[in-house]
Chain A
Amino acid sequence: MDKKFHTNLVVSSAPHIVTDQDTTRLMGTVLLALVPALAASVYIFGLRVLLLSLVSVIACVGFEYIWNAALKKTQTVGDLSAALTGLLLAMNVPSSFPIWQLILGDCFAIIVVKALYGGLGKNFVNPAITARIFLFISFASNMSTWPVTKLAGTDAVTGATPLAIIGEGAFDKAALPTLQQMLLGLRGGACGEVCALALIIGGIFLIIKKIISPIIPCAFIGTVFVIALIATGSVYQAVFHCLAGGVMLGAFFMATDYVTSPKLPFGQLIFGIGCGLITMGIRFLGSYPEGVSFSILFMNICTPLINRWSYKVYLKKGGKK
């Protein structure tokens, strides 16, 4: 019995194989899905959008790196979630936004919203949305000065967003862009939110790749449509409301954030409907022209409650099959 055996093998619990879809791949796919919107934005507003995006991504990754290094934590910048937050925040500001203020927003998103609560997976509100609201409140005038694209064919350098025009008074078709212009993004607005078409392409890509579930975007956009239809009685205006403001960006990319949205499909449905309701409530009744960020933030905060409710529904059904 002088056989040589391998007696020091790795022993671990089953399963012994795992999917190659890890966190980095997921975040990377979402970044990829944002590329059409980013490209459209660069085309519409010029190269400054690219500059803002790069600065924001680098700043977010930088802040997370410094935080982890300073607190001697495991380095997590490789999971790309900070990069995603950076890009999303850049897409949520006007193309003329001052860079130092954007970096301050990045710092708020990464350090205050994410890291202080324990990092990825522990934050209870979406960092990019919360940072956008932080910037909106801190630098109100910079956050509501909307450069107008040269492609719109006017000489004005800045102008009001379509929703601000509606908020001022009646639905004046002459002063507003057409639906086609809304779809293509030839209008005032934040960098990433204007080109609805590019966002829809990105969103559908994510749904096909099974990165996100269609429940939240469908419930969100559907609710916006239905409420606008009831309130205005016009399909044109209802579609207009779906394309306007940050609905597409919010519905596909911000409300679907895993960490801050409900776990179960039933909860996700409630979450999406809630986002739509609050958005339209603010648009029609509130003093701000747009309410997508506030609606997502509010529903983020409601998520634990929605989870509790949906668990009850889930367990009533028997909790299986």
Chain B
Amino acid sequence: MSQGKHLPSIHVPHHKNTAGHETVVMPIPDVVKICMSQNIGAPCKPLVEKGDYVKVGQRIGDVDAFVSAPIFSSVSGTVIDIEQSRGSMGGFETLVVIETDKKQEVSEEVKVPTIETFEDFVKAARDSGMVGLGGASFPTHVKLNPKNLDECEYLVVNAAECEPFITTDNREMVENGQDVLDGMQMIMKFLDLKKGFIGVETNKPDAIENMRRLIEQNEIDNIEVVELPSSYPKGAERVLIYEVTGKTMDAGVLPAQLGVILDNVSTIGVMAEYFKTGMPIVRRRVTVDGDAVANPQNVYAPIGTQIADLVEFCGGYKKEPRKIIMGGPMMGRATKSDESVTMKNTSAVLCFGQEMAEVKEETACLNCQRCHTACPFGLMPSIYIEAYENKDLDTLQKFNVMQCMECGSCSYICPARRPLSFTNKLAKIMIKEATKK
């Protein structure tokens, strides 16, 4: 249905080096560390203790809260420690450290779910442990259970994958296209949705072709592939909804309020796998790339794999890594050490050498307004950065800084290398703190 109108976007180099690489399964590492904070909302509490023997698919973390998703063991082995470690957001996170026995014994808990009613379906979605695999890690069952279910019409599947380097969604559609379609049909059936859309950027011709072929083969008439321009940030929730349905969405609004259920393509694919096999999310496809990696490729890695093990499997470091990013280069998080572990939302691990790790020096603002023209929402980062420095909350709010989704386009495009996106983030925090009182 693509409504033909586009929001402003920028051209970033695609670097989809691994788009044609079939996903390879890596051997089970000696140790995995499974983080208990893998979703937006409440972190899980460990259900196991030091010394326990755990099996693949066994629930090892959960919490009694609506916005949360359980966590499962990705390996079989012995819990050797429950450690507290400082996470990438600065707070402390609980890690369950498991020494693997490499037997990969499957837990008795793994059973194909029986799904007959809507309630069963939502429960199964939670039991699959799914969160948004694209990066936001919002628990999927919450998305599938909106307050205004009657008003929801569309299912929009986010397969834009606009971040450079990452090719996991592309591979999901090429390798597991059938699962994606099955998952979509399940969602549309139980939520009573009229139409489904798969939004894909045109730089993934293999995926588009495969999905269209499967739709034809299965004779599905209410699912459509929507081709999007290959520019950043087409995969941002609010941008995608506008591009596909023409609906504008403010920050803080959920897609469901506009009658749209939106999910990432890999999320749906992996969830469909759970509906068929009963195996919750215990591994995920990770794009390992960057100029410091010897053999960039897509890897199925158990959740909780340390980056060092992952890179070692990819031929090790070609040169001294200076920066490692979890996620894409536009919105991903830099990690301090390659001891960090993969999580459900780790779509990519990018290792950069000195040259690409360098943070460019900031120079004077030219007032060129490239930040304003690049912003998908037409916001004014050059005003925010000045207002933030002056702690001018009125101006920040008047000029809608809260609408910023931190896509990074302004910082990317700035000829003076100013940290615009970062400042927006800080400004939003400043406003949130001030309005809390």
Contact = CB atoms under 8 A, between A and B. Distances in A.
Contact of B403 (A5, A25, A122, A320): A320
Contact size class for A? 35 or more
A101 B366 CA distance: 29
Contacts of A26: 366, 368, 415
A264 to B, nearest CB: 7
A319 interface: yes
A7 B337 contact: yes
Interface of A: 1, 3, 5-19, 21-23, 25-26, 76, 79, 119-122, 258-259, 261, 263-264, 311, 315, 319-321
A18 B422 CA distance: 14
Interface of B: 7, 12-13, 31, 164, 242, 248, 308, 320-325, 329-339, 350, 352, 356-360, 363-369, 372, 377-380, 382, 398-400, 403, 406, 408, 411-417, 419, 421-422, 425
A23 B378 contact: no
A264 B411 contact: no
B421 A13 contact: yes
Given A8-B337, A9-B337, A9-B357, 13 more contacts: A1-B31, A7-B337, A9-B324, A12-B334, A14-B329, A15-B330, A17-B12, A17-B412, A258-B366, A258-B369, A315-B398, A320-B377, A320-B379
Contacts of A261: 367
Contact of A23 (B242, B366, B399): B366
Contacts of B325: 16
B421 A263 contact: no
A14 B408 contact: yes
A298 B378 CA distance: 29
Given A3-B308, A10-B322, A121 B366 contact: yes
Contacts of B415: 19, 21-23, 25-26
B321 A23 contact: no
Contacts of A263: 367, 369, 372, 380, 382
Nearest to B164: A17
Of A8, A121, A122, most buried by chain B (CB within 10 Å of CB) is A121
B365 to A, nearest CB: 5
Contacts of A12: 323, 334, 359
A3 to B, nearest CB: 6
A316 to B, nearest CB: 12
B339 A14 contact: no
Given A18-B412, A122-B364, A264-B372, A13 B322 contact: no
Nearest to A212: B368
A121 B418 CA distance: 13
A7 B340 CA distance: 10
Nearest to B408: A15
B169 to A, nearest CB: 19
10 contacts: A6-B308, A14-B330, A14-B334, A15-B412, A15-B421, A23-B363, A23-B416, A263-B372, A263-B382, A320-B403
Contacts of B350: 16
Of A10, A120, A311, A315, most buried by chain B (CB within 10 Å of CB) is A10
Nearest to A12: B359
